[in-house]
Copies of this chain bind each other. A is one copy, B any other.
């Protein structure tokens, strides 16, 4: 419709200069009460809304924190429009929640952007140019690029350990410990000997660390294992998890006693596929995941997995960013390691339910 009103319009209408209008919003106390009211009234009448862009440009800050993540979504799920009801949260959703919560506390808004087919450049550039600082999930964008950006604004990398000399802040979880503890549980407590690990070690440093944890536990338990996963995958999605079964079977011609997946999504996909084949979990084969997404508790049997404090990761990311933004700009890079915990549930043969559900059981 009509052109959107600006400070100039408000200034004219209230008979002051644009500087005063600006002050009314930025620093109300520096303007005489009477003048202030006059300005606010004019603004209201005009329907004035300050331009965030102009403000940001002039003041060099936006009051926004960002989050970039890769496209985790399951292609299948995308296809089926009816999955509304089944909408379980993914990894990234939890982090969004955590960041949003913490950002709100600090008066920041949150800008979230997931990469699509479009080159990663465009993604980060888009976000980086619009926020005061941001977090990135591993593998969303090359580290070098982040290095460059982090020279001018805080960047924290989620779920990756520091690689050699990078100057980024990192937040990761105890991948090694978690996976090795879970594996130990399978071996010692359930007496399983023939395990198979499914996941790609190159996928991310996290998955790499998990696999090393698995290896360590296997060896500690006296099992002989190869130096690399029994199966590598590309995507770590449900579809891939289901597909993994075929691949495994084709290769070995028999089922191992336990399928140790590098994340929950794949494990859930496998659960599906096993049910279709008429195989019982955990009786015929044990399945475990990693992450502790809510869906892991919804499936039957509930998935034994390693819970990451995903919400907290998001919160810590924001805390870190805020800290950098308020002073500690070039303090040494931080590398946080958050603890994980093994959730022993039905899919490994432990009793189901953990007492956290409300209501009578």
A110 to B100, CA, bound (A): 12
A301 within 8 A of B: yes
A258 CB to closest chain B CB (Å) equals 16
Contact B271–A359 (Cβ < 8 Å): yes
Which residues of B are found within 8 Å of A104, using beta-carbon distances?
71, 113-114, 116
A49 CB to closest chain B CB (Å) equals 5
A62 to B54, CA, bound (A): 12
Which of B53, B88, B297 sits near A130, CB closer than 8 Å?
Answer: B53
Q: List 26 A-B contacts (CB under 8 A).
A: A1-B151, A4-B152, A47-B151, A49-B128, A49-B149, A51-B129, A53-B53, A53-B62, A53-B130, A62-B130, A64-B111, A64-B130, A84-B307, A85-B307, A87-B94, A87-B310, A87-B311, A93-B97, A96-B96, A100-B114, A110-B113, A111-B111, A281-B360, A298-B298, A299-B357, A301-B360
Given A49-B125, A49-B149, A64-B111, also A294-B358 (CB < 8 A): no
Contact B47–A312 (Cβ < 8 Å): no
A55 within 8 A of B: yes
A308 CB to closest chain B CB (Å) equals 9
Which of B81, B113, B343, B359 sits near A281, CB closer than 8 Å?
Answer: B359
A280 within 8 A of B: yes
Known pairs A51-B129, A86-B356; list 18 more (Cβ under 8 Å): A1-B152, A51-B57, A52-B56, A53-B130, A87-B294, A89-B294, A93-B93, A109-B130, A110-B111, A110-B112, A272-B359, A274-B359, A275-B358, A294-B294, A297-B298, A300-B357, A300-B358, A301-B359
Contact A152–B47 (Cβ < 8 Å): yes
A292 within 8 A of B: yes
Chain A contact-residue range equals: 35 or more
A5 CB to closest chain B CB (Å) equals 9
A1 to B151, CA, bound (A): 7
Contact B113–A109 (Cβ < 8 Å): yes
A139 within 8 A of B: no
Given A1-B330, A280-B360, also A52-B130 (CB < 8 A): yes
A296 CB to closest chain B CB (Å) equals 10
Which of B81, B114, B152, B301 sits near A49, CB closer than 8 Å?
Answer: B152
A361 within 8 A of B: yes
A183 to B360, CA, bound (A): 23
Q: Tell me how many chains of this kind the complex includes.
A: 2
A351 within 8 A of B: no
Which of B2, B57, B107 sits near A53, CB closer than 8 Å?
Answer: B57
A87 to B310, CA, bound (A): 10
A245 CB to closest chain B CB (Å) equals 13
A286 within 8 A of B: no
A120 within 8 A of B: no
Contact A299–B359 (Cβ < 8 Å): yes
Which residues of B are found within 8 Å of A268, using beta-carbon distances?
358
What is the 8 Å Cβ interface bit string for chain A, positions 77-111, against chain B (1 contact, 0 not)?
01001001111110001101100110011010111
Q: Determine the residue in chain B with the shortest Cβ distance to A353.
A: B300
A63 to B113, CA, bound (A): 11
Given A49-B149, A148-B47, also A360-B94 (CB < 8 A): no
